[in-house]
Amino acid sequence: MEVFKENIVDGMIYTFHFQHFPATAAHIMIGQMIGSDICSLQYVEELYKKIEEKKFSLKKPQLLDMPPHFLENVVKELDVESRAIVRKTCKTLRAFVDHIPLRLEYLAINFSRNPSNSRRINIKLHFADIVVSYYEQEEGCLVTKNRQGEFRFDGRERFVNGDVKQLVLADLKSIFLNPKLEIEGLAITKTKTYRFNPYFTEFIQMLSSLEHKVHVERFSWSVYYNTDELVEILSAMKPSTLKSFESNSLYMVHDPYLPNLCLELNKCLFNLPQWKGAKELNCTCKMNPRYYVYLAQFDQAYLTRNMHTYGQKMTVKTIMALKKKLLENENFVEMKIFEKPSTIPVKGLKRTVRPFQSPINPRWAQFDYPNSVKKLLLRVYSDHIWFKGPCYESDEDESEEDSEDEEFSEEEVEGDSENEEPDGTDGEDEEHDGEIEEDSSDTSDKEPEE
């Protein structure tokens, strides 16, 4: 309780004023209570006047009495952690927190299961400088806060009773609810071991239910099996802000017996404005090479195809279709597609592009952009394909790399038909690593329609 430490007489006069006693009555009563000469009638009248003019009050100024722009500035000064705490104090400050721009350099949300008790779920929020962890426990949740990079608890942990899911989702919602939130890099990770995670499912539903689209600039996705959830999450982002997409687990929908249906399902991702608007791609994926054409809008793309779990083979035709698409992107920088060495039709590709051998560097094939002097370059390696566009800036180390490979010489191509399909045909009806390839009726010969 606040103790009144100022002049006690002023306090008494203030009380009499509050009780609507006239100044004269207040003066008499004070005289009777603590002596007649303690203060004059004039003093009482002056203080009455000050109280009426709001120049004197017993009420101490409080934070919420401060002008709104000051409160706004206070909230702007808060770090992420304090901001989340201030948000929980009262309605007025919550309203400020929810409407003042917040730029997060980095936010990673990690959904996993407790290694010692798989029925329990752990959630970790990694910010640029702090990690908040929620550990599901008996009848509640242990919440810990550590500085980024520290692995031992720094004493800031507390147990919260009640529904853990509600607590975690409320905290996540308090971050994403702000329409002025800007996230430079958002990473979402769900461990591979367990497919169903109710927290993760509800988190996606929460994001989808927001009235605004979330401003994310770089997005990293490490969630296995779930392309449909990726579509939902990307849909919740602002298409105009997403510049880069990264994933170590981009598993496209695949059924060897229903290739057209799979294409339609995967188009849900490829046709998203968020996907089309992104300019950088870096992913390890399980993807049919015939979908490569849907990567042509990326200015920079680095793709590693995991062939151990997915058997479809890259063909000359898929690469030529990709080249055709890339010639529509005049801002193209480069694309590298890494594959298992045996799965790239090296000789077939070299034979196909030999007529386009670059006069400057014979190791590269060169293609003209329509109605332009700009060039697209292609080079085939044993383990990857490399496209370079008009916006590519050469690297100093490149000359060393060049020396490792040979040009598209006629001698090299002769008699190289071993393990190669003829130009323009696919070699998809083969078995790789014990996995069954797509049915021979696969439409992979046909180019996907836009």
Q: How far is the CB of 147 from other proteins (least distance, A)?
A: 12
Non-local (6+) Cβ contacts of 292 within 8 A are 303, 318, 319, 321, 322, 337
Handedness of CA 42, 48, 54, 60 (dihedral sign): positive
Q: How far is the CB of 145 from other proteins (least distance, A)?
A: 9
Q: How far is the CB of 211 from other proteins (least distance, A)?
A: 21
Whichever of 143 and 250 has its CB closer to other proteins, that residue is: 143
Whichever of 50 and 432 has its CB closer to other proteins, that residue is: 50
Q: How far is the CB of 241 from other proteins (least distance, A)?
A: 16
Q: How far is the CB of 90 from other proteins (least distance, A)?
A: 4
Burial of 178 (0-12, 13-18, 19+ CB in 10 A): buried
Q: How far is CA 75 from CA 70, 78, 204, 215, 378, in A?
A: 9, 5, 28, 20, 52
Q: How far is the CB of 91 from other proteins (least distance, A)?
A: 5
* CA dist., res. 325 & res. 67, Å (int): 57
CB of 108 closer than 8 Å to CB of 126: yes
Whichever of 97 and 230 has its CB closer to other proteins, that residue is: 97
Place of tokens 């030529």: 320
Q: How far is the CB of 76 from other proteins (least distance, A)?
A: 5
Non-local (6+) Cβ contacts of 159 within 8 A are 137, 140, 141, 142, 143
- DSSP label at residue 133: E
For the chain, what is the largest distance between any 2 Cα atoms, rounded to a whole number of angstroms?
122
Q: How far is the CB of 132 from other proteins (least distance, A)?
A: 14
Whichever of 178 and 284 has its CB closer to other proteins, that residue is: 178
Whichever of 89 and 382 has its CB closer to other proteins, that residue is: 89
Whichever of 88 and 276 has its CB closer to other proteins, that residue is: 88
Q: Which residues bind other proteins (CB under 8 A)?
A: 55, 60-67, 69-70, 73-79, 81-82, 85-86, 88-93, 100-103, 156, 158
CB of 424 closer than 8 Å to CB of 317: yes
Whichever of 53 and 449 has its CB closer to other proteins, that residue is: 53
Q: How far is the CB of 143 from other proteins (least distance, A)?
A: 11
Burial 94-129 (b: 16+ CB within 10 A, else e): eebbbebebebebbbbbbbbeeeeeeebbbbbbbee
* CA dist., res. 286 & res. 303, Å (int): 10
- Contacts from 420-424 at CB under 8 Å and sequence distance 24+? 420/345, 420/346, 420/347, 420/348, 421/315, 421/316, 421/345, 421/348, 422/348, 423/316, 423/348, 423/351, 423/352, 424/316, 424/317, 424/320
Whichever of 61 and 355 has its CB closer to other proteins, that residue is: 61
Whichever of 65 and 433 has its CB closer to other proteins, that residue is: 65
